Amino acid sequence: MPAVLEIEGLRKTYKSRRRGTRNALDGFDMRVDAGQVHGFLGPNGSGKTTTLRTLLGLIRPDGGRMSLLGHEVPDALPAVAGQVGAIVESPQFFPHFTARDTLSLLAGAGEVPATRVDEVLELVGLRDRSGERVKTYSLGMKQRLAVASALLKNPKLLILDEPANGLDPGGIREMRTLMRTLAESGMTVVLSSHILGEIQLICDSVTIISLGRRVAFGPVDEVLAQHSSSAVRIRLEAVSDLPAAIETLTRAGIQVTGHPDHLMLAGVDKPASVTRLLAEQNLYVSELAPIAVDLESVFLELTATAPVPGQHRQVDESMKVGGTGQPGPAGGGWGA
């Protein structure tokens, strides 16, 4: 499948006399194939928005190579801009114009037929409110307008940064359906979001970024499988049998974590071996459940951003690729 978006070794460094040097992007790689819905994930300050801005020509990179729809950017951006619809970060519009005026002006600038304005307003559910000023809109409505503006070009590649921000549950579901419909029509969609459940539901593949570097990528199933921990939860008929079970399983080389009413086992290749081992000791299992890993837990593990009781994690305290896996401050602040 041809790549619609390719990034290799992208670097962006911010230098400040006061705060020193901060690598917002540190050799970042990314690839999105045609027709996919691709999730782009990362903690706050990890470099997601910087990547998107750089890709769209808003930020000048310090190194690396990027291409969109087979054209090297930023040089060929004027040639491909008409085929790339994007919203970057929170939706921003001139507050005193109506949604229709806003889209109509963009359509005029981009030489898009005026009829397309009505089509996208209908698509994002703003048809009946299109005559109202944007300043009267809720965040969710502004978000819909932003998506409409990105769809106005009928792009081949749609890049959406946090499109579900501010949307109500119905809106989130509509957005999910829209993404899928667009992908089915042949449009490639890159979706940056923190709603990982949504990403897992919508996306074919993901890229996870942490501290300006890619820490995981590939089809969602593969990424999940790579980080599956083979954990199993078991309960016994009698809670009083739990200590004996711990002893039996530990002797068999299985890592066991005891809980008041159940046990958590790690490193179990075949769950059937657990039942056999325990049955031999007259310990009977009432429940055995393999623990499925989800994208959120993979994300938290890879970026080392899982909350720790009693600690207040700072922005930029996340995983360094090739490091020890321990979170550590990297300097800097907001603004990736």
Residues 95-134 that bind another protein (CB under 8 A): 95-97, 101, 105-106, 108-111
Question: In 3-state terms, what secondary structure has residue 123?
Answer: helix
Q: Which region among 81-89, 211-219, 237-245, 259-267 touches another protein (by CB under 8 A)?
A: 81-89
SS3 call for 204: coil
In which residue are the tokens 């957005």 written? 175
**Alpha-carbon radius of gyration of the chain:** 24
Using the rule CB under 8 A, which residue among 94, 239, 247, 323 binds another protein? 94
190 vs 196 by CB, closer to another protein: 190
What's the CA gap between 299 and 209, in Å, rounded?
A: 9
Among 130, 149, 248, 305, interactor with another protein by CB under 8 A: 149
Query: 83 or 297, CB closer to another protein?
Result: 83
Among 28, 30, 32, 93, binds another protein (CB under 8 A): 93
The whole-angstrom separation of Cα 169 and Cα 13 is 38
Q: Is 222 helix (H, G, I), strand (E, B) or coil?
A: helix
Is position 136 an interface residue for another protein (rule: CB under 8 A)? no
- Smallest gap, in angstroms, from Cβ of residue 142 to another protein? 11
77 binds another protein (CB under 8 A): yes
The beta-carbon contacts of 309-317 under 8 Å, at least 24 apart in sequence, are 315/43, 315/44, 315/45, 316/45, 316/211
Told to check if 329 binds another protein by CB under 8 A, we report: no
Residue 111 or residue 280: which is nearer to another protein going by CB? 111
In the list 44, 92, 257, 314, the residue contacting another protein (rule: CB under 8 A) is: 92
Residue closer to another protein (CB basis): 137 or 299? 137
- 35 forms part of the interface with another protein (CB under 8 A): no
153 sits near another protein (criterion: CB under 8 A): yes
- How many chain residues interact with another protein (CB under 8 A)? 31
* Token digits of residue 80: 């491909």
Three-state SS sequence of 13-30:
EEEECCCEEEEEEEEEEE
Q: Which is nearer to another protein, 91 or 171 (CB)?
A: 91
- The reply to whether 315 sits near another protein by the rule CB under 8 A is no
**Which SS3 state, helix, strand or coil, does residue 158 take?**
strand
CA 146 to each of CA 77, 102, 103, 327: distance values in angstroms, whole numbers, following the listed order: 21, 10, 9, 35
Choose between 88 and 220: whose C-beta lies nearer to another protein.
88
Distance of CA 161 to the CA centre of its chain: 10
Spatial neighbors of 136 by CB under 8 A, at least 6 apart, are: none
Task: Retrieve residue 157's tokens.
Answer: 């590649």
53 touches another protein (CB under 8 A): yes
Shortest CB 10 distance to another protein, Å:
14
Residue in this structure with the two tokens 């829209």, named with its chain if needed = 178
* Nearest Cα to Cα of residue 145 among 155, 154, 133, 156: 133
Per CB under 8 A, which region of 51-59, 166-174, 188-196, 305-313 contacts another protein?
51-59
C-alpha to C-alpha distance for 64 and 20, rounded to whole angstroms: 22
Q: How far is the CB of 207 from another protein (least distance, A)?
A: 21
CB of 335 to another protein, least distance (A): 7
* Residues at the interface with another protein (CB under 8 A): 53, 56-60, 74, 77-78, 81-82, 84, 86, 88, 91-97, 101, 105-106, 108-111, 149, 153, 335
